[in-house]
Chains A and B, each alone.
Chain A
Amino acid sequence: MIDLQRVCYVRLGTRDIEGATRFATDVLGLEINEVVKGAVYFKSDQREHTLCYVEGDPADQAVAFEMGSRAALTAAASELERLGYAVHAGTPGEADARKVREFIAFNDPSGNRIELVWRPAYGGTRYHGVRDAGITGFSHVGLCTTDAARDEAFWTQVCNARVSDRVGNAPLLRINEVHHSIAMFPARHPGIQHINHQVESADDVMRSYRFLSERQISIVFGPGRHPTSSAKFLYFEGPDGMVFEYSSGVKMIADELLYRERQFTFEPRGLCEWGSKPDIPEFRS
């Protein structure tokens, strides 16, 4: 059992790192933590970075999960190799570039690049964004799946994820008390489907709705509220077609024994209880 502790960071390739940086700061509201040749690191909470834009192919995307110990990381590598996954052991240089002590990387069954990291760096200074978006931190990713049942089995049997709810065939998976750290979306291709940052309140979601609308940022879903996690949300489009989400009020599942996952319909009313309709390919029924 690969015991994922929490979602750690996202690495995204881009051909226009300046444009991506402008978006991440001026629009999304993140703080630049470090600029190096070919990469910019962004902070959204106490961690040294939770998003990194790297010069390169926008199809090069990775999401990282934190492991509890070096032993757990080593065991995860052997387990994945035993199951036939090609495991890449991160070099010290690659680990430095990720601000972690050690890591391994592999592709999940759909082909999403996953990194398992040990001792990711925390910062001494708190996050202070360039605009007051009310961000409290990077919280989850949407991952494309080419076979929802197969991938659910991978995340829940090989790894420690639990299904919190299902929307159609797509499971929302938790690895800690947060309702979901991974939201799976059926698609024909792998990839990160969206990147979520939590904000303090519904007020922040709605203020950003006005802020983004005024700047002609394409809002692709919301403002709305998920009946699954009860979070109030807003989805909008960033560089290279990546979808970003602000949300507030995600449900916490404290009692593993009492909680039971529910089935929701993969129609707009299963995705939003306020009545907004998604304009995102993976959300369309």
Chain B
Amino acid sequence: MIEIEQLRYVRLGTRNLPAAIDFAQRILGLQLIEKSDEQAAFRSDFRNHTLVYELGDPSRQSIGLEVRSEATLERAVAALAEIGIATTAADASALARRKARAMASFRDRSGNTFELLVRPETSGWRYFPARDAGMTGLAAVALRTTSNGADETLWTTLFNGRVSDWVGDAAFIRFDEAHHRLALHPSDRAGVLAVEYAVEGINQIMQAMYFLQSAQVKILHGPGRRPTSDQIFLTFAGPDDMLFSYVAEGTRIADEGTHRPRQFARKHLSFCAWGSESSVPEFAASEDRNRGSRP
């Protein structure tokens, strides 16, 4: 069992770095901490960075996950090799860009890239953004999966992931007390579906709704409440068709002994208890056309 300590960052490719930087700072509310011609890194909390935009193909994406030590990393590499998943060790320049001591990356069965990190940097200087979005930090990443359950099994058997709930076959996987850090949504392709940042509360979610409307940012789901995690959420469009969400509140799963994962029906009310609908197919758009009267 390989322990995942923390979700650390999301790296996203973009063809238009200035536009991505503008979005991350002005709209999303992150703090730009480092910028070169090739990449820009953003802070949202105690972590040195939680989002990186890299100049290049938007399909080049990776998720950074922390493991405790180099020994754990070696065990992970061996365990992955055993089930036929190859890993790539990072060179010095890749490590420098990621601000970590050691790293091995791999692709899951769908083709999503993960980077296992040892000792990624924490910032001694607190997050201080230009816009007051009430950001409290990177909360979760929603991924598309084509593996028909194999990716879920990878996280729950090789790693310490636990399924908190399912909506249809979409699995919400936790590594700590948060309801989920990874969400795997069955899809016809791989890739990051949404990057989710936690904000302080309902005020920030609703203020964001009016802010995003006035900034003409397309809201694709919500404001709503997830019956699974009990989080309030607002999902909107970022550069390169990437979705971003603000989330707040939500249940924590403190007692591993008593929590049972629940199965929710694959329909839009399982994604939003307030009744918001989404055109995003992974959020059950058009799945429940024949539904009866609404509550």
Contacts and interface: CB of A to CB of B under 8 A. Distances in A.
Interface of A: 131-132, 202-203, 206-207, 209-211, 214, 223-225, 232, 273-276
A214 B293 CA distance: 12
Contact of A207 (B207, B209, B210, B273): B273
B275 A275 contact: no
Contacts of A209: 274
Interface string B260-295: 000000000000011110000000000000000011
B207 A275 contact: yes
> Which interface residue of B203, B206, B207, B210 has the most chain A CB atoms within 10 A?
B206
Given A206-B225, A210-B275, A274 B203 contact: yes
B273 A274 contact: no
A161 to B, nearest CB: 29
B223 interface: yes
14 contacts: A203-B274, A206-B274, A207-B273, A207-B295, A209-B274, A214-B275, A223-B206, A224-B206, A225-B206, A273-B207, A274-B203, A274-B207, A274-B209, A275-B211
Interface residues of B, number: 17
B224 interface: yes
B202 interface: yes
Interface of B: 202-203, 206-207, 209-211, 214, 223-225, 273-276, 294-295
A135 B275 CA distance: 18
A273 B203 contact: yes
A278 to B, nearest CB: 13
A211 B209 contact: no
Binding site secondary structure of chain A: mixed
Contacts of A206: 223-225, 274
A131 B207 CA distance: 29
Nearest to B212: A275
Contacts, number: 43
A42 B261 CA distance: 43
A232 B211 CA distance: 17
A203 B223 CA distance: 11
Contacts of B223: 206, 223
Nearest to B210: A275
Nearest to A133: B295
Contacts of B225: 203, 206
A214 B203 CA distance: 24
B294 A211 contact: yes
Nearest to A275: B210
Contacts of A232: 202
Nearest to B295: A132
A276 B275 contact: no
A284 B203 CA distance: 23
Contact of A225 (B203, B273, B294): B203
B231 to A, nearest CB: 12
Contact of A210 (B207, B210, B276): B276
9 nearest interchain CB pairs?
A275-B210, A210-B275, A274-B206, A206-B274, A274-B207, A207-B274, A275-B207, A202-B202, A210-B274
Given A214-B294, A223-B223, A274-B203, 6 more contacts: A210-B275, A225-B206, A232-B202, A274-B210, A275-B206, A275-B209
Which of B209, B224, B275 counts the most A-chain CB atoms under 10 A from its CB?
Answer: B275
Contacts of A273: 203, 207
Contacts of A207: 273-275, 295
Nearest to A214: B294
Contacts of A275: 206-207, 209-211, 214
Interface centre among A132, A210, A224, A232 (most CB of B within 10 A): A210
A250 to B, nearest CB: 15
Contacts of B202: 202, 232
Nearest to A204: B274
A214 B276 CA distance: 10
A214 B275 CA distance: 10
Contacts of A223: 206, 223
Contacts of B294: 210-211, 214
Nearest to B230: A203
